[in-house]
A and B are shown apart, each in its own frame.
Chain A
Amino acid sequence: MAEVLVYVDHVDGAVRKPTLELLTLARRLGDPVAVALGAGAGATAGVLAEHGAVKVLTDEAAEYADYLVVPKVEALQAAVAAVSPVAVLVPSSAEGKEVAARLALRITSGIITDAIDVEAGESGPVATQSVFAASFTTRSIVTTGVAVITVKPNSAPVEAAPAAGTVEALTVTFSAQATGTKVTGRTPRESTGRPELTEAAIVVSGGRGVNGAENFAVIEALADSLGAAVGASRAAVDAGWYPHSNQVGQTGKSVSPQLYIASGISGAIQHRAGMQTSKTIVAINKDAEAPIFDLVDYGVVGDLFDVVPALTAEVNTRKG
């Protein structure tokens, strides 16, 4: 059967959920061969095998952490040469997209970014994209070379499908370009203990209506009652109430959870661009005319400082 390369997003060997989703999609196209790079790459094999990887190509060279993007491109290029895959799937993170793009150019292949679904088609993989702030859905194919496709988180279920997961060392020879951009410092993001924003099944977001950094405790309490991630609008981020890494929208994270709860967010197009593909949308806003209400499955017109704590209390009661 044809092989499909899957680029593994992991932190020190801990595989992130979007990669496991890619393995589900890859199995529709062929046998998944995973490529794991950097410190801890070898430790990813177990979980990748449980999810269908027939083979795991690893290389733990320091270059992947010490230089930007290009070493990873050269590793994938080596993997493509070793495996001759029918497709290359990469998680749609900012970095994943850059790696995929440069790989595509090097192997003379077209690239499709931010797919929300991938299926086998007559002339190769067909990718579905959700574009123009999710107002259109397109289906596209790569017509030249091997289909290089980046896929958004939450686009497929994570399914167990045990496979061999044989670990093989990938031999990569870096070019002069690979060491062009040096990483001179790195500050890891502090963990909040909450789920990753892009991977969470539920996201609870606050906007300008939250009216102050200290008031985000109200949003966090609801999130914690639901086991959710916390998001924020750009207005809340720009005001310094919440970190930029939690921003949802065009220039923040794009999320697609089962449930999205927006509190004190008006629903500007740039915010919608990052959350409109959420399965169920709920809004709490004191302005009945707020555009966010056009999107909702359920909306409460009211003061978030009344509604959100009441909801949190109710959730906690029902749980307990």
Chain B
Amino acid sequence: MSLRIVVTVKYVPDATGDRHFADDLTVDRDDVDGLLSELDEYAVEQALQIAESSDDEVEVTVLTVGPEDAKDALRKALSMGADKAIHVEDDDLHGTDAIGTSLVLAKAIEKAGFDLVVSGMASTDGTAGIVPALVAERLGVAQVTLLSEVAVADGAVSGRRDGDAASERLSAALPAVVSVTDQSGEARYPSFKGIMAAKKKPVQAWDLSDLGIEAGEVGLEGAWTKVEAAAERPARTAGTIVKDEGEGGKQLAEFLAGQKFI
């Protein structure tokens, strides 16, 4: 038996940088450094752990849909220990929404071949947390998402999902789409050896025609949503800051009373 795992990883603008929108109301990627979405490191980690704990032959492929620089995200994942990478890059992808992204991911995952897809809980830019569910819908396979614990055995995936009202145990037969939270376990740092090895690992490049997708199905034109306006939030007006010299609690109470909170 063998197990083919595809990990979807997104290349995002650094959250600690100055993120903003370009004139066409898409994310400005030129003015801020990009990196592998931190939450996808957890996905890579869980895929590697599944591979390491399996008696079967396991292949871990990392997949990204993004501009040229998105290769950096793939390199990082490869240096953590993934076996190979797929980069879907095409100028017509600019401005794709979540529905379109899920189309591209699903087509690429099908073309690559898979038993299990592992995704992050959400990207750190769009933060919608819906792409894994959309990919499962498109692939017609089970969705086992937002897991803080995940295991694969006997052709099934199981895990724990901590929801608002309850913590649930889930199980589904493979093939399936999983997403994991940052509670699933610390992601490993790439070792020097891993970084060197990553340079030799294959990165396959596909464009829309390789996936049989028409330009009009994705990108700004193909999006089913449209951003009409984006405005920087006005900076908060400077608040009052006091130093506690024994009266800090009282002064704060005074402020809260003035605002009718007490």
Please report A residues at the B interface, Cβ cutoff 8 Å. Answer: 11, 68-70, 93-95, 97-98, 100-102, 104-106, 108-114, 126, 130-145, 177, 180-189, 198, 202, 226, 244-245, 250-251, 258-259, 269-270, 273, 280-282, 284, 288, 293-303, 306-315, 318-319
Instruction: Using A297-B236, A311-B253 as known contacts, list a sample of 13 further A-B pairs with CB atoms less than 8 Å apart, ordered by residue number in A.
Output: A94-B129, A111-B225, A131-B230, A135-B19, A141-B225, A143-B226, A245-B164, A250-B122, A250-B124, A258-B261, A302-B248, A310-B250, A318-B257
Q: CB distance B232 to A135 under 8 Å? A: yes
Asked if A138 meets B229 with Cβ closer than 8 Å, knowing A105-B137, A311-B252, the reply is yes
B125 contacts A by Cβ under 8 Å: yes
Asked if A101 meets B167 with Cβ closer than 8 Å, knowing A132-B19, A293-B241, A307-B244, the reply is no
Q: Among B83-91, B168-176, B199-207, which stretch is in contact with chain A?
A: B168-176
Q: CB distance A138 to B227 under 8 Å? A: yes
Q: Count residues on chain B whose CB falls below 8 Å from chain A CBs.
A: 81
Q: CB distance A105 to B128 under 8 Å? A: no
A106, A138, A245, A300: residue with the most chain B Cβ atoms closer than 10 Å: A300
Q: How does the 8 Å CB contact mask read for B15-59 relative to A, with 1 for contact and 0 for none?
A: 110011100010000000000000100000000000000000000
Q: CB distance A109 to B224 under 8 Å? A: yes
Q: CB distance A306 to B244 under 8 Å? A: yes
A-B contact pairs, 30 of them (CB 8 A): A94-B146, A101-B128, A104-B99, A105-B134, A113-B98, A126-B228, A133-B15, A135-B232, A136-B21, A140-B226, A140-B228, A143-B225, A186-B166, A186-B168, A189-B164, A189-B165, A189-B166, A250-B122, A250-B124, A251-B121, A251-B182, A259-B259, A259-B261, A269-B15, A293-B241, A295-B236, A296-B239, A297-B239, A298-B241, A300-B252
Bound complex: CA of A70 vs CA of B224, how far in Å? 22
B136, B144, B248: residue with the most chain A Cβ atoms closer than 10 Å: B248
Q: CB distance B223 to A137 under 8 Å? A: no
Q: CB distance B143 to A11 under 8 Å? A: no
Q: CB distance B225 to A140 under 8 Å? A: yes
User: Which chain A residues lie closer than 8 Å to B97 at the CB level?
Assistant: 110
Name the residue on A nearest B234 (C-beta): A137
Q: CB distance B241 to A136 under 8 Å? A: no
Asked if A299 meets B20 with Cβ closer than 8 Å, knowing A101-B98, A139-B228, A306-B249, the reply is no
